[in-house]
Chains A and B, each alone.
Chain A
Amino acid sequence: MVKIQFYSLIRLLLKQDKLELPPCENEQVGQLLQRAQQKIATPFLHKLLDDQGDLLLGTIIMVNRRNILHLQKLQTPVHDGDVVAFFPPGAGG
Chain B
Amino acid sequence: MADRYKRQVALWGKESQQQLETAEVLIAGVGGLGAAVAELLTRAGVGKLTLVDNGLVDWPDLNRQLLYCEADIGRSKLQVAARQLRRINSKVKIDLLEQQINPSFICPPGISIVADCLDNYASRFHLEAALPDETYLVHGGIEGNQGQVITLQKGKSQPLADIFSGIQQPSGEIPVSGPGATTIAGYMASELINTICGKPQLLNRFLIVGLGDLHLDFLKV
Beta-carbon nearest neighbor of B205 in chain A: A65
Chain A residues lying within 8 Å of B162, measured Cβ to Cβ, are 67, 70
Closest to B118 in A: A93
Shortest CB-to-CB span from B213 to chain A, Å, is: 7
CB-based A-B contact count at 8 angstroms: 94
Chain A residue with minimal CB distance to B169?
A: A91
- Of B141, B163, B217, B220, the residue contacting A90 (CB under 8 A) is B141
Are the CB atoms of B32 and A93 closer together than 8 Å?
yes
Chain A residues positioned under 8 Å from B119 (CB to CB) = 91-93
Cβ–Cβ contact B166 & A57, under 8 A? yes
Could you give, for residues 131-172 of chain B, a 1 whenever the CB lies within 8 Å of some chain A CB and a 0 otherwise?
000000000111110111000000000100011111111100
Q: Is the CB of B147 within 8 A of A67?
A: no
- Tell me if A87 counts as interface (CB < 8 A to partner B): yes
With an 8 A cutoff between CB atoms, is A11 at the interface? yes
Q: In the complex, A89 Cα to B184 Cα: how many Å?
A: 13
Flag if A87 contacts B143 (CB, 8 Å): no
Question: What distance in Å separates the Cβ of A60 from its nearest Cβ neighbour in chain B?
Answer: 6
Contact A93 B166 (CB under 8 A): no
The yes or no answer to A41 lying at the interface (CB within 8 A) is no
Is A58 an interface position by the 8 A CB rule? yes
Given A55-B166, A69-B165; A85-B219 close (CB under 8 Å): yes
Evaluate contact between A90 and B165: CB separation under 8 angstroms.
no
Interface of A is mostly: mixed
Q: How many residues of B contact A (CB 8 A)?
A: 42
A5 and B210 CA atoms in complex are apart in Å by 15
A60 near B167: Cβ-Cβ < 8 Å: yes
Contacts of B121 in A (CB 8 A): 91
With a cutoff of 8 Å between Cβ atoms, the chain B residues found around residue A90 in the complex are 141-144, 146-148, 174, 184
Does A75 count as interface, using CB distance less than 8 angstroms?
A: no
Q: Within the complex, which residue of B164, B170, B184, B213 is in contact with A60, where a contact is CB–CB below 8 Å? A: B164
Nearest CB of B to A49, in Å: 13
Cβ of A44 < 8 Å from any Cβ of B?
no
Restricting to A50-93, which residues have a CB under 8 Å from any CB of B? 55, 57-58, 60, 62, 65-67, 69-70, 85, 87-93
Per-residue B-contact encoding for A23-67, CB less than 8 Å = 1, 0 else: 000000000000000000000000000000001011010100111
In whole angstroms, what is the CA distance A11 to B146 when docked?
A: 11
8 A-B pairs with the lowest CB-CB distances in the bound complex, closest first: A57-B168, A90-B143, A92-B174, A93-B119, A90-B141, A69-B166, A90-B142, A8-B146
List the interface of chain A (C-beta within 8 A of B): 5, 7-9, 11-12, 17, 55, 57-58, 60, 62, 65-67, 69-70, 85, 87-93
B contact set with A: CB distance below 8 Å: 29, 31-34, 116-121, 140-144, 146-148, 158, 162-170, 174, 176, 184, 206, 208, 210, 212-213, 215, 217, 219-221
Pairs A–B under 8 Å by Cβ, sample size 24: A5-B219, A7-B219, A12-B213, A58-B168, A58-B170, A60-B167, A62-B221, A66-B158, A67-B163, A87-B208, A90-B142, A90-B146, A90-B148, A91-B141, A91-B167, A91-B169, A92-B32, A92-B119, A92-B142, A92-B143, A93-B29, A93-B118, A93-B119, A93-B141
